[in-house]
Structure 1
Amino acid sequence: MIYIFAIVSIIGIAIVLLFFLLMMVLNIRMLGSIRGNGVRINEKQFPDVYERVVKMSNQMGLKDVPDVFVIQSEGILNAFATRFWGRNMVVLYSEIFDLGREEGKEELDFIIAHELSHVKRRHVWKSILIAPAQFIPFLSQAYSRSCEYTCDREAAYTINDVGAAKRALTILSVGKQVYREVNEDAFVEQIQNESHGAVWISEILSTHPNLPKRVQSVSLFMENAQRPVYKENAGKVAVGVTILGAVLMAAYLAFIGGLILVGTSLGAIFAGLFVDEFDEFGQSSDWAFGESPEEFEGSYDEYDFYNDYEMTDLMIAIYEEDLQAVTELINQDVDLEEQDLYGDTAIMYAVESFDQDILEEVLIAGADPNVLDSYETTPLITAIYSGFYDGAILLLDYGADPAYRDIDGDTAYSLMDVSTEEDLYEALLDE
């Protein structure tokens, strides 16, 4: 389906070509290093091993003998088949190749024959062709495991030595020193004894079957003798997978929750950087866009908060909490009920200042304690909303109406959860 999409889509063709180009570049880089630094086996280099490679290649019907290289493996036991510019290659890690020097000639033959079988069955080229299967969970790994079973069987058939085949596979599990001491029956029995969800998940995500299964598969294919066939305990696997699934789901949800929390926090930070904020004077703060607080100083003439809000001199004095200026302006008989741009009078400024002395000075001068602002709210309700309870008591003393109902339906009584003026006084004193 992916290839069909690529054929009918220009973008799809470009993606497929880019994918294959990337694979080719990575492959050339790796294999170029192997051919440049590895030791190539031929008539002059390890001729005894080369002779066996030629013999097994002819036995399998290969048209050309693949190039075989040995590379330093730093203790890793491995081998693989690949292609380089149309030439088939088999790469042996040095730890595996050492078997041929340490009385493990038959085991080494099995490993070489296994890789030659990959070449014969064109598994490398097929893997490239079915590369889109990588996008389907577990599918490409399942195909790869099937290829490994096939090559194990063909290699055992080619060398005609099932014992060497099983020992070679055991080497991959325990190493090349003690593999002859491993009890084959006990090893294969692990298929059943080690039935766990973790083991099952590990295998289905792997390109190779578990080694006890490979040993059992070769044995059943090559030997006529009746042997016990071990299988995984489906019940244990199901329970294990269920538990692991629950743990992984919990971890996933926690991870998603963490991402959301981090994203929200970062969003709040960036919002704080780029939202046009206002400082305590109501002036636009553009510091996030380059202006520093120092650059902003002295620019109040440009952003005249007092004039913009049409504040009177008395309002300015109250806002600045200058009791002496408030007293002097009141003595000059200023209009206590003059409103600013938003309908607030001096008494509302006094309530919002939380300064009881200034509020009392304004009330003594005769300011209306029941005046309404643009939100149809009285100074008393504003004081209670703001938590200025001493100011609320002072307003009541000067005739504020506790029964007035604002646009939200609240009164001073309802806000303090009382029903009488006496109870209201007590509630405010308690606060």
Structure 2
Amino acid sequence: MPLLTLCIVLTVAIWSLLLYVVLVEHASPAEWTFPIIFGAAAPFILLLYSFKRTYWKTVVNAVELTDKQFPEVYELYVRIAKDMGFGSGKGAMSNIPRLYMTDGSGTLNAFASKCQVHKGYVCINSDLLEIAYRHNDLSGIGFVLAHELGHIKCGHVSAWRTIAHPMANLIGLGQSLTRAQEWTADRCAYYYAPEGKESMMVLIAGKHLYKQVDMDEYFRTVHNHKGGLWLKLENYLSDHAVGYRRMEAIKETEEKGWDVHGKML
């Protein structure tokens, strides 16, 4: 939250200063007034365009999950969404976001976004969905779905956060802001789908071998690598926590419960 607040304050300050100079100080010729005002409003216009463009680019090449299309996963998704309060709140929480599957082409990924200012959706790659069916691991998919719904619930795909990202990138905190949001979404998943947390090893070992990883031995070898400067630097430069850090946080939840925030460095 401090990172987001800083970026929003700086963004609003720059916009306000720009409008003050144009409208009050008349520092620019009159013919430049409209272009400058339009330029200040452009991020909002581009944001609305981006929401719609990304949504339609996704859904025209996707399969929507329903109670008749991959019903086992959809039923799990709806249960988690309702537990989070979707369908009974206001704004983004007023309905259960639609769930889509796209061809992953070997990529293990999922994302949450918006199709309207107050309406989100979740998309999961087919390679991740294979885990539920070929490896009989619905709990692992539940963790992923809870993570993505957490992004929507916590406002990570909101207009203000999206607009704040350029400023975050400008001051060198873009990756850190995204990484902080990922940790928060993980905490949502720890709370609403804790039984699937160890399945996140799939992001490190792959969808065919992740169940064969000896977790105790994995953590033993991880701890043999001292958390020095290079580990901190790599984590800082990543928009998602590196595998070491993410699995450490998952293990920590076994002792401290769901409210664990992983290391930013």
TM-score interval (norm. to shorter): 0.7 to 0.9
Counterpart of 1:181? 212
Q: CA deviation at 1:66?
A: 0.8
> What is the Cα deviation at residue 143 of structure 1?
2.2
Contact 2:108/2:125, CA 8 A, preserved across alignment: yes
Structure 1 residues 94 and 194: CA distance shift in structure 2, 3 A: farther
SS of the residue corresponding to residue 92 of structure 1 reads strand
What is the rounded CA distance, in whole Å, between the counterparts of 1:212 and 1:182 in structure 2?
14
Paired residues of 2:51 and 2:113 also in contact (CA < 8 A): no
The size of the alignment, in residue pairs, is 225
SS in 1 for 2:60: helix
Aligned residue in 2 for 1:36 = 60
1:149 matched to which residue of 2? Answer: 183
Structure 2 residue runs without a partner (length 5+):
1-9, 23-35, 88-94, 258-262
Percent identity between the aligned chains? 26
Q: Summarize deviations over 1:153-196 as a string: whole Å, max 9, x none.
A: 221221241xx2122x2101111111011122343342651646
| Pairing 1:343-358 to 2, within 5 Å after superposition | none
Could you tell me whether the CA contact under 8 Å between 1:170 and 1:179 is conserved in 2? yes
- 1:67–1:87: 8 Å Cα contact kept in structure 2? no
SS at match of 1:223: helix
Classify 1:150/1:5 alpha carbon distance in 2 versus 1 (closer, same or farther; 3 Å).
closer
What is the alpha-carbon distance in structure 1 between the residues aligned to residue 247 and residue 152 of structure 2?
A: 22
Q: Does structure 2 conserve the Cα–Cα contact (< 8 Å) formed by 1:99 and 1:176?
A: yes
**Measured at CA, do residues 49 and 62 of structure 1 come closer, stay the same or move farther in structure 2, by a change above 3 Å?**
same
> Taking structure 1 as the reference length, what is the TM-score of the superposition?
0.48
The 8 Å contact of residues 47 and 163 in structure 2, kept in 1 or not, is answered as no
In the alignment, the residues of structure 2 paired with residue 133 and residue 171 of structure 1 have an alpha-carbon distance, to the nearest angstrom, of 30
Alpha-carbon shift at residue 76 of structure 1 (Å): 0.3
- Provide Cα deviations, 1:284-343, integer angstroms capped at 9, x if missing partner: xxxxxxxxxxxxxxxxxxxxxxxxxxxxxxxxxxxxxxxxxxxxxxxxxxxxxxxxxxxx
Counterpart Cα distance in 1 of 2:218 and 2:112: 27
Q: Aligned partners of 1:212, 1:3: CA distance in 2, in Å?
A: 37
Residue pair 1:113, 1:159 contacting (<8 A) in 2 also: yes
Deviation at 1:27, TM superposition (A): 4.0
* Aligned pairs (5 A) from 1:19-168: 19-63=43-87, 64-85=95-116, 86-102=118-134, 103-125=136-158, 126-131=160-165, 132-137=167-172, 139-161=173-195, 164-167=196-199
2:112/2:152 contact within 8 Å kept = yes
CA shift for structure 1 position 8: 3.8
Q: Give the gaps of 5 or more residues in structure 1.
A: 226-230, 235-431
Separation in structure 1 between the aligned mates of residue 52 and residue 155 of structure 2, nearest angstrom? 19
Distance 1:119-1:4 versus aligned 2 partners, 3 A rule: same
> How has the CA–CA distance of structure 1 residues 182 and 81 changed in structure 2, closer, same or farther, with 3 Å as cutoff?
same
Q: Which amino acid aligns with 1:127?
A: R
2:15 equivalent among 3, 6, 15: 6
> Quick one: distance in 2 between partners of 1:2 and 1:152?
27
- For residues 13-40 of structure 1, what are the alpha-carbon distances to aligned partners after superposition, in whole Å with 9 as ceiling and x for unaligned? 4334223433443443332121112000
Check whether the contact 1:81–1:124 (CA below 8 A) recurs between aligned residues: yes
Q: Name the CA shift for 1:153/1:219 in 2 (closer, same or farther; >3 Å).
A: farther
> Residue type of the partner of 2:169?
Q
RMSD over aligned CA atoms reads: 2.7
